[in-house]
Structure 1
Amino acid sequence: HQAVIIIGNYTALVGDPSGRDQTRARLTQEQVETNARDYLTQVGKVVDLTRAEVVRNGDWFSAMGFLDVLELCSKVTVAQLLTRDDFAKRQAAEQAIFLHECLYPVMQAWDSVKIRADIELGGTEQLYSFMLARDLQRDQKLPQQIGIMTPILVGLDGARRMGKSLGNYIGIGESAYDMMKKFMQVPDSVMRMYFELLTDLPLAEVERLLAGHPKEAKLALARSVIGDYHPSEQATEAADRWQREISQKELPAEIPTVAVDSSLLVDGSIPAARLLVATGLCSGSSDARRLIAQGGASFGDDKIRIESHDTLVAVTSGLLLWAGKKRVVRLEVQ
């Protein structure tokens, strides 16, 4: 078979409604192209792009006139669209379903017609599009494709499908250490799913790991998956670094240095909230006050907790400033 990768630059302009309980924000063409480049980088870690065919569905949708769109839409009923799980749930909850969203599964199905797909791979939430593609292929006198589906992986929140727009994802294009930090946040309740969908470990080994300490199971999971996308030694080093810096609370190996303008200091000191904003650890005074109120701000090698937004912090070059457990900078007075 010839592997064909479809960059959905026109479906992305609509926004995938799969697994959504509300309308997805629409992207600009510039955002779509930026994402497309990122997707190809990630796909290249799994598929040999030199042997695959890469197409953009804008190649055929941009050439369609309004009459062509009407012809395509005439092949799908509203009743059929409302059988799609996400639309059915939103209708039952009396939540808005916009007309442009209904075009997404139709466009996806038409992609299969245009590339003459005989096998299509996707998640279980794509069942409707897969079946609609078969109907459209039959209508065009083409052989009907076979759909191969895999279960949907839930994200780091343990509830919703993993997705970049939801902020609950682990990117295979991320560094080994960034992936490691995220894997260690996977909820215990979904560990079995992650092992089954992301690794080739024997089920007996998975059972043994899950019966033990969750931290050891997550380290094993992370090393296995990271090793698929990075050299194995990087996966091992990422695990060791996480143990040193997070589990054993040692200082990070790389601490960025941030300059503090001496004009901000009065007698060598500055209110804590203002310092957090000046160093970029907080986006604004409200963010800084919230962090301090939650007990997440501290300074010094001993991580002295900042108790109030107006606490005066004596700033000297080399002082460590913390925002949460993982973000830390070293100050340099200039």
Structure 2
Amino acid sequence: MEWAELTPAQQQEVERQLETAVRGAAEIIPAEELRRKLMKSVTAGVPLNIKLGLDPSAPDIHIGHTVVLHKLRQFQESGHQVQLIIGDFTGRIGDPTGKSETRRQLSEEDVQRNAATYSKQIFKILDPLKTKLLYNSEWLSPMDFAEVVNLAAKVTVARMMERDDFTRRFQSGQAISVHEFFYPLMQGMDSVANGTDIEIGGTDQKFNILMGRTLQKEYGAEPQAVVLMPLLEGLDGVKKMSKSLGNYIGIDEAPNDIYGKTMSVPDELMLKYYEMATDLSNDELASLRQAVDAGTSHPRDVKMRLAHTLVRLYHGAEAADAAQLHFITVFQQRALPEDIATCRVAAEELEDGGLKLVRLLAVTGFAESNSGARRLIEQGAVKLNGVKLTDIGGSVQLQEGDIIQVGKRKLARLSLG
């Protein structure tokens, strides 16, 4: 099919999907094949099969793992079908990528337990209605020895030795077990068995994912296109995010922890985190990038929005608001003078822990009259725990130790009861 055969509306849709598909990608293999597949899908109205393979050896997902999940979600929002393949069979071998020695084989119990944890976490990002959750033991376990020999005959040892980790281990005299050669072959068979159109993965999975293209050709199928995503640096800004290095943000961590950790992300990585690990649209991302480049958005505010976004994604908007308020309170209190005055608010003034804002200003002595209190609120001079209060007729919920502030220098710590 030629580009000129598409209607203007179809051309526009292909370009939109292509822009989203390549967003943040490190490499597209091959780019023209990805475009052709999108053209075919748009004109025929048939969704593409988008694959991600997960080896369930480390079930706790962190923000670095979500990069490929967000890419899958973007394809889902364009109407495509995700094939999420849990490597319950390949997990018994373990992916040798980047390893200097043979990995311990996981037991079937380990694999099933880890797979269940993955399944629970990934649907915080993916749409379950557009996701096929598959286990590769379904097609790999039934293969008999003759089929395995036939599979092995399709790839040479020289090709396997193109992998850097195998080459390094061979040259240094470290053992390479024959069964490790079967890991990329089995991952490639996942694509053959499921008619995968596009496979997503990290750059460290390039060899394994390209094996899918090789085997699809060998078995007479149309080869998949490949979208490789970069590995996300952790909180140190240098090494890839990893639990073992302690530079990670876990998606199951408490909201305050996610928020606080995000605020320690280096400024130069903020936009990359937005691009790779959030649901910001392309237009929102472009506007944010322009504001940062022009210096019209303060890095602290951009990072606070990022922290709020990450908490919202995994715990909801209410938890994100609470985590942001907690951070502001703690951050502001660290900068407060040590000799800050204390104002007592009598228990009889409170109703279910709340008090009219105008009355609060009078009780604390920050306003001599109700009209004076209203004037301060109108001027935007009143803050509670660092959050500006603008509702003249509103009430506020109070807790022991809250900080009331009027202007830049008038501060008081509240004591209730």
TM-score (norm 1): 0.63
Contact residue 292 and residue 298 of structure 2 kept, 8 A: no
Contact residue 192 and residue 210 of structure 1 kept, 8 A: no
In the other structure, the counterpart of 1:141 is 220
The reply to whether residue 233 of structure 1 matches residue 312 of structure 2 is no
In the other structure, the counterpart of 1:193 is 272
Q: Among 267, 290, 293, which residue is 1:204 paired with?
A: 290
Q: Deviation at 1:115?
A: 0.7
Provide the rounded CA distance (Å) in 1 between the counterparts of 2:211 and 2:296: 40
Contact residue 195 and residue 206 of structure 1 kept, 8 A: no
Q: Deviation at 1:161?
A: 3.3
In the other structure, the counterpart of 1:322 is none
Q: Deviation at 1:32?
A: 1.4
In the other structure, the counterpart of 1:116 is 195
Q: Deviation at 1:21?
A: 4.6
Q: Among 82, 85, 89, which residue is 2:161 paired with?
A: 82
The reply to whether residue 29 of structure 1 matches residue 108 of structure 2 is yes
Number of equivalenced pairs: 249
Q: Among 54, 65, 70, which residue is 2:133 paired with?
A: 54
Contact residue 209 and residue 217 of structure 1 kept, 8 A: no
In the other structure, the counterpart of 2:352 is none
Structure 1 pair 121–59 and aligned structure 2 pair: CA distance change class (3 A) = same
Q: Deviation at 1:36?
A: 1.0
Percent identity of equivalent pairs: 39
The reply to whether residue 4 of structure 1 matches residue 4 of structure 2 is no
What SS does the corresponding residue of 1:220 show, helix, strand or coil?
Answer: helix
Structure 1 pair 32–156 and aligned structure 2 pair: CA distance change class (3 A) = farther
The reply to whether residue 174 of structure 1 matches residue 236 of structure 2 is no
Contact residue 227 and residue 235 of structure 1 kept, 8 A: yes
Contact residue 202 and residue 230 of structure 2 kept, 8 A: yes
Structure of greater Rg: 2
Q: Deviation at 1:77?
A: 1.9
* CA-atom RMSD in angstroms: 3.1
The reply to whether residue 18 of structure 1 matches residue 97 of structure 2 is yes
Structure 1 pair 93–126 and aligned structure 2 pair: CA distance change class (3 A) = same
Q: Which amino acid aligns with 2:180?
A: E
Structure 1 pair 160–89 and aligned structure 2 pair: CA distance change class (3 A) = farther
Q: Which amino acid aligns with 1:71?
A: N
Segments of 5+ residues of structure 2 without an aligned counterpart are 1-46, 48-80, 336-417
Contact residue 258 and residue 310 of structure 2 kept, 8 A: no
Contact residue 13 and residue 28 of structure 1 kept, 8 A: yes
Q: Among 182, 189, 192, which residue is 1:103 paired with?
A: 182
Q: Which has the higher contact order (CA 8 A, sep 6+)?
A: 2
Q: Deviation at 1:234?
A: 1.7
Provide the rounded CA distance (Å) in 2 between the counterparts of 1:108 and 1:159: 30
In the other structure, the counterpart of 1:66 is 145
Segments of 5+ residues of structure 1 without an aligned counterpart are 251-334
Q: Deviation at 1:113?
A: 0.5
Provide the rounded CA distance (Å) in 1 between the counterparts of 2:113 and 2:102: 22
Contact residue 291 and residue 297 of structure 2 kept, 8 A: no
The reply to whether residue 222 of structure 1 matches residue 322 of structure 2 is no
Provide the rounded CA distance (Å) in 2 between the counterparts of 1:218 and 1:5: 31
In the other structure, the counterpart of 2:361 is none
Provide the rounded CA distance (Å) in 1 between the counterparts of 2:332 and 2:152: 56
Q: Deviation at 1:138?
A: 1.3
